[in-house]
Amino acid sequence: MKFQGSETLTPDDPAKYTVTFDAGHGVSVRIDCNRGRGGWTSEGRNKIRFGVIAITRALRPAAPLSDRLAKDWDSIRLYQLKDGHLFLELMAGGGAYEFEPAGPRR
């Protein structure tokens, strides 16, 4: 997982950043030590919009990637699947978040 835009941000542990979609247009996220749930819609090919996400607010030291993703969440407008990775792109070319597939669940 990483953010690529005006800067590149990578997490200390990519497993702390996950996005899981369900068939009922729900989405679950993990952003560092916080977890959330919300909805999503798509109005066409490669277009996506996320609704308001209810997320925990655990106290933690400032983390540029966590803070940026939480702030950018409602500005994500496009998605791409490339080489098994999910790219969530911000509007107006503001950058993209890249997620890799999760390993096997235990």
Biggest distance spanned by C-alpha atoms of the chain:
39
Contacts 24+ apart (CB under 8 A), 56-64: 58/33, 58/34, 60/32, 60/33, 63/32, 64/9
Question: What is the CB neighbour count within 10 angstroms for residue 97?
Answer: 24
Please give the single-letter amino acid code of residue 18.
T
Is domain 2-99 given the CATH code 1.10.287.10 in the classification? no
The tens digit of pLDDT for each residue in 58-105 reads 887 878 999 899 999 999 999 999 999 999 999 988 999 999 998 765
| Domain boundary assignment for the chain | 2-99
Location of structure tokens 């500005």: 75
The tens digit of pLDDT for each residue in 3-34 reads 999 999 999 999 999 999 998 999 999 999 99
d(CA 92, CA 67): 20
